[in-house]
Amino acid sequence: MKNNKKINICIMGATGLIGQAFVNILSSHPVFQISSLTGSKTGIGEKYRDSVNWTLPFDFPDKSGDLIINKPDIRSLKNRGVQIVFSALPSDIAGEIEDDLRKEGFYVFSNAGAHRYDPDVPIIVPDTNPGSIKLIEEQGFPKNGFIITNPNCSTAGLVVALAPLKKFGIKEVTVSTYQAISGAGYPGLSAMDISGNVIPHIEGEEEKIEKETKKILGISPEILATCVRVPTLYGHLETVWVDFSNSPGIDDILEAWTNSIPEFNLPSLTDRSVKYLTGQRSLNNHISFRGNPPGMQVYTGGLKRKGEKIGFNLLVNNLVRGGAGGSVANAELFQEIYGRSK
């Protein structure tokens, strides 16, 4: 990091699940400090500890408990010296608010889908396509603010596993997801719908995987996605089959993942992007918060080959790598490349 002074940040949607993951990470971050939290109308004026229903499997970060929940109000953000806004807002709300923030010169790092497909807004996974950050210059940076998005949670894991394999010529990807209920936010799905049940449809998810994978990797393979909601709490499992032009063997794939060292050494990234686990039972949802930092490791397992196709399984933590952690790593990447005060 080029700048030692901590940067004031705001978390919008701090009481939701992604918001909680943000608060957990940013309550003790080397570069950023929380100076404002926002929620919807219900919690305005309350202390964070009284307003949030803390569900993450981490101790509540006491340091942030007395912060007061504010309205998402631009003037108050300016008064607090906020430079960076992390958005964990529902997509239908995020579009307009994030636009207003950008117009007012804020640097917005968003989890919401509202701006992901704007041609001048990058979707960044910082150990996969860090170079895409240059798109913020098309939004008018450094004169103006900008929006940087991270992908939807399933795509975040998929592109991390596929990026080191691009050199083998990816022709087609067939992916089936087994997505945890926390992916639907809090309170999320009705207990009657998901208890002891699987739901083979998640609105808009298959289209997101297809579009976002292509935008991030900068290639256009055929992508056949099926998305299923399963009654697990955290972590999305995915089964993947990839058809390659250059016929890599199992050892070539393993070597590519072993060498998946991020180009930028950022506090929120793991040493290696992909960790391959041997053993049929190693890869399962219970390990999704493991790794260093917790929840940022993308795990793969179960490699197999049939003809020209390679199959494997992967696990991504939807709230951290697929959500808040990915966004924080994007802000670290921004600081690393452009780091300076507004």
Ligand X SMILES: NC(=O)c1ccc[n+]([C@@H]2O[C@H](COP(=O)([O-])OP(=O)(O)OC[C@H]3O[C@@H](n4cnc5c(N)ncnc54)[C@H](OP(=O)(O)O)[C@@H]3O)[C@@H](O)[C@H]2O)c1
Where does this chain bind ligand X (CB under 6 A)? 13-19, 39-40, 42-43, 72, 88-91, 93-94, 111-113, 152-153, 182-183, 185-186, 318-319, 322-323
In the chain, which ranges are continuous DSSP H helix?
17-26, 48-51, 74-79, 91-103, 153-162, 191-194, 205-217, 250-258, 325-338
Find the residue with minimal CB distance to ligand X: 16
Dist. CA 180–CA 236, nearest whole Å? 6
Here the tokens at position 47 are 């202390």
CB of 310 to ligand X, least distance (A): 27
Helix 17-26 and helix 325-338: axis angle, to 10°? 50
**Closest CB to ligand X among residues 253, 319:** 319
Tell me the closest approach of the beta carbon of residue 73 to ligand X, in angstroms: 11
> At closest approach, how far in Å is the CB of 213 from ligand X?
15
Least Å from the CB of residue 14 to ligand X? 6
How many other C-beta atoms can be found within 10 angstroms of the C-beta atom of residue 71? Answer: 11
Identity of the residue, 46 or 137, whose beta carbon is nearer to ligand X in the bound complex = 46
Residue nearer to ligand X on the CB measure, 70 or 270? 70
The smaller minimum CB distance to ligand X, of residues 132 and 152, is found at 152
- Catalytic pick among 29, 153, 201, 227: 153
Per the annotation, the verdict on 153 as an active-site residue is yes
Tell me the DSSP string of 243-300. Answer: EESS---HHHHHHHHHT---SS--TTS-SSSEEEE-STTT-SGGGTT-TTTTT-PEEE
Active-site positions read 153, 236
